Amino acid sequence: MDQELLLKGSRRLEWAEAHMSVLREIGKKLNETGTLKGVKVGMALHVEAKTGMLAVTLAQAGAKVRLASCNPLSTDDSVALALKHERGVEVYARKGESHDEYYENLNAVLDMRPEFVIDDGADLITMLHTVRREQLSEVKGGNEETTTGVIRLKAMAADGKLNFPVMAVNDARMKYLFDNRYGTGQSTFDGFLNATNLLVAGKELVVAGYGWCGRGVAMRAKGLGAIVTITEVDAVRAIEARLDGFNVMTMAQAAPRADIIITATGCKDIVRAEHLSMVKDGCVMGNSGHFDNEISKKALESMASPPVRVREHVERYDLKDGRKVYLIAEGRLMNLAAGQGHPVEIMDMSFSIQALALEHLVRNCATMRPEVYPVPSGMDELVARLKLKAMGLSIDELTPAQKKYLEDWQEGT
């Protein structure tokens, strides 16, 4: 065994553990109640230190846990090793795994016959509803971590195809307000800067999508001194972007001026042939959405000679007309493929919601329908209170008279 790699993973887990105080509190509560004792949980998440601490927390609370990656490029091999050898978590993941290996690993998670699943992007749940249907009836519920996954699962439910209840962890306020905005905002530039070592200040930077992730990326790009342009398909969000002080235009208008293009839409074909035909020589492109289909690799491949790896996480495409463009991390989510994912304190909140949502499912699945459920607001409140405490912040409380005022429509002023 590679002892150096093991030590590195071990230290990374310790670091995450030390900075995830909310999850620690939730873990204590789960240990006391014993709700997760003996429960089989299959997980497909980004296998890195914060995820590792979620798996460890569930395992310490008595769950039987098996973990695979939800993306072929996002695994931290050092953490995977330390989880296996020091923390007793079964892990099936390797950074750079092939397409076939990726599905073999998801299959290995399903081989444990999980009663509950925790997914990020909905590939695991989709497999259960397609190629592993024979064990669908054994699954009592699932959690979904990300916007893309929730969209897929809502489509599945609308089609009448979803077979068990799913908690939309992504849609909890304590998740998307911080993870999607501040998490993606910071980690996108962790990945970008690590991959490129380029200056952001003074660059024309285009952000595709002004959802919570796009808002976070745009905010941080502005902070780093970029001249930021937003592309959107939602008219309301486009106005919001404009009033937040950004240029707003179509991708066709934005692409020719871009030094950097970052996609964060959750949709496909955002940068396609018609845009690639106009981008400037030297344009650097990267994606922070869940799947690697936002920047069309098919179009790039058809317009350029085979890519040349010019840095660890950057490939150069030489277009036939002589322009060169650069793609970060093969168009996969650069915050994890080229960076370390969201900051620890952010994932502390997201994974606390995950742990509580799982407990909720275990307790209530017998009476829940096969639908996508919002996370109960009490969980947001609990995690927020614990986080405030961890931050050393106090807030005011309503006085009895204020409470009455808010409930009494007759009182007026």
Give the residue from 342, 391, 345 showing the smallest Cα distance to 18.
345
Distant-in-sequence, close-in-space partners of 381: CB < 8 Å, separation ≥ 6: none
Give yes or no for residue 384 binding ligand ADE (CB under 6 A): no
**# chain residues binding ligand ADE, by CB under 6 A:** 15
> What's the closest the beta carbon of residue 382 comes to ligand ADE, in angstroms?
21
> What's the closest the beta carbon of residue 291 comes to ligand ADE, in angstroms?
13
Give yes or no for residue 121 binding ligand ADE (CB under 6 A): no
Of residues 172 and 336, the one with the C-beta less far from ligand ADE:
336
Of residues 185 and 307, the one with the C-beta less far from ligand ADE:
185
Contact 349, 22 (CB under 8 A): yes
Give yes or no for residue 220 binding ligand ADE (CB under 6 A): no
User: Would strands 166-168 and 372-374 be described as parallel, antiparallel, or unpaired?
Assistant: parallel
Give the residue from 121, 141, 182, 183 showing the smallest Cα distance to 40.
141
* Nearest residue to ligand ADE on Cβ basis: 341
Give yes or no for residue 286 binding ligand ADE (CB under 6 A): no
Of residues 144 and 359, the one with the C-beta less far from ligand ADE:
144
- Which 338-367 positions form the footprint of ligand ADE (CB under 6 A)? 341-342, 347
> What's the closest the beta carbon of residue 273 comes to ligand ADE, in angstroms?
29
Q: Which residues pair with 271 in a beta bridge?
A: 295
Of residues 45 and 300, the one with the C-beta less far from ligand ADE:
45
Among 35, 51, 196, 229, binds ligand ADE (CB under 6 A): 51
> What's the closest the beta carbon of residue 3 comes to ligand ADE, in angstroms?
25
Contact 260, 284 (CB under 8 A): yes
Binding mask 161-200 for ligand ADE (x = CB under 6 A): ----------------------x---x-------------
CA distance 90 to 59: 10
Query: Torsion angle of alpha carbons 275, 276, 279, 285, nearest 10°?
Result: 100
> What's the closest the beta carbon of residue 406 comes to ligand ADE, in angstroms?
36
The residue range among 40-48, 57-65, 372-380, 393-401 that interacts with ligand ADE, by the rule CB under 6 A, is: 40-48
Give the residue from 79, 82, 4 showing the smallest Cα distance to 45.
79
> What's the closest the beta carbon of residue 20 comes to ligand ADE, in angstroms?
12
- Identity at 217, one-letter amino acid code: V
Task: Please provide the size of the chain in residues.
Answer: 413
Residue 244 is classified by DSSP as T
> What's the closest the beta carbon of residue 149 comes to ligand ADE, in angstroms?
10
Among 145, 259, 294, 380, binds ligand ADE (CB under 6 A): 145
Q: Which helix (H) or strand (E) holds 21?
A: helix 21-33
Among 19, 50, 181, 220, binds ligand ADE (CB under 6 A): 50
Among 77, 120, 259, 345, binds ligand ADE (CB under 6 A): 120
Coil vs helix vs strand at 96? coil
> What's the closest the beta carbon of residue 307 comes to ligand ADE, in angstroms?
25
Binding mask 319-338 for ligand ADE (x = CB under 6 A): ----------------xx--
Give yes or no for residue 230 binding ligand ADE (CB under 6 A): no
User: Would strands 324-328 and 314-318 be described as parallel, antiparallel, or unpaired?
Assistant: antiparallel
CA distance 24 to 251: 44
C-alpha dihedral sign at 284, 288, 289, 291: positive
- In DSSP notation, 27-46 reads HHHHHHH-TTTT-EEEEEE-
- In DSSP notation, 144-191 reads E-SHHHHHHHHHHHHTT---S-EEEGGGSHHHIIIIIIIIHHHHHHHH
Q: Which residues pair with 319 in a beta bridge?
A: 304
- Identity at 371, one-letter amino acid code: E
Contact 168, 149 (CB under 8 A): no
The residue range among 47-55, 225-233, 291-299, 306-314 that interacts with ligand ADE, by the rule CB under 6 A, is: 47-55
The residue range among 48-56, 107-115, 159-167, 379-387 that interacts with ligand ADE, by the rule CB under 6 A, is: 48-56
Give the residue from 34, 93, 79 showing the smallest Cα distance to 60.
34
Give yes or no for residue 95 binding ligand ADE (CB under 6 A): no
CA distance 4 to 401: 62
Give yes or no for residue 144 binding ligand ADE (CB under 6 A): no
The residue range among 41-49, 93-101, 136-144, 364-372 that interacts with ligand ADE, by the rule CB under 6 A, is: 41-49
Residues that bind ligand ADE (CB under 6 A): 45-46, 48, 50-51, 120, 145-146, 183, 187, 335-336, 341-342, 347
